[in-house]
């Protein structure tokens, strides 16, 4: 993995999401189905803005503390802050705000775990920043890699004070 660039900024975004409970491997098996459901909802409600709408994976639990069967992970999509719609079926919405360290990475499918370890073990715990009680997430700047050779620009957002 190349050494990532790190920036810090205040974030304010609105998202729609589908929450999954279970092991990360099971989440990955269901991710395309959840993504399709999000996109269909967003299209019906005119929420997609070309080159602006982004896909996220939100990690609500610490896998070193929470058992695999209870891990909560959300497939999410940014929507305009002023958008109006009714939550429907599995689709929920929420706002994300606060200060984040953003670790900008260019990752292959096999490098995501290494990027997360770097984000917390190398950068956060050795920096002067203090973690904030909120959830981290990945934002896909380019489409996530579909095989072990391709790479994707992915930003890892770490909540900080």
User: Model confidence over 78-97: pLDDT tens digits?
Assistant: 999 999 999 999 999 999 99
The domain in which residue 62 lies consists of 5-159
Q: What is the pLDDT of residues 29-73, one digit of tens each?
A: 999 999 999 999 999 999 999 989 999 999 999 998 999 999 999
Considering its fold, how many domains does the chain have in total? 1
Q: What is the CATH number of the domain that holds 124?
A: 3.20.80.10
Q: Give the list of residues 6+ apart from residue 147 with CB closer than 8 angstroms, or none.
A: 109
Helix (H, G, I), strand (E, B) or coil at 11: strand
What is the structure's pLDDT at 111?
92
- The backbone region for 146, taken as left when phi is positive above 0, alpha when psi lies in -120 to 50, beta otherwise, is alpha
- Phi and psi of 25, rounded to 5°? -60, -40
Q: Residue 126 burial (CB < 10 Å; 0-12/13-18/19+)?
A: exposed
């Amino acid at each position: 993995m190349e050494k990532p660039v790190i920036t810090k900024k205040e974030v304010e975004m609105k998202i729609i999401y589908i929450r999954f409970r279970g092991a990360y491997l099971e989440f990955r098996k269901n991710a395309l189905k959840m993504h399709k459901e999000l996109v269909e909802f967003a299209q019906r409600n005119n929420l997609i803005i070309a080159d602006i709408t982004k896909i996220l994976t939100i990690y609500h639990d610490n896998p070193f503390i929470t058992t695999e069967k209870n891990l909560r992970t959300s497939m999410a999509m940014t929507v305009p802050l002023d958008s109006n719609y009714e939550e429907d079926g599995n689709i929920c919405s929420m706002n994300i705000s606060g200060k984040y360290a953003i670790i900008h990475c260019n990752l292959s499918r096999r490098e995501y775990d290494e990027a997360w370890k770097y984000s917390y073990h190398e950068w956060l715990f050795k920096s002067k920043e203090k973690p904030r009680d909120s959830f981290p997430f990945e934002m896909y700047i380019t489409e996530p890699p579909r095989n072990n050779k391709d790479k994707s620009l992915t930003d890892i957002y770490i909540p900080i004070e």
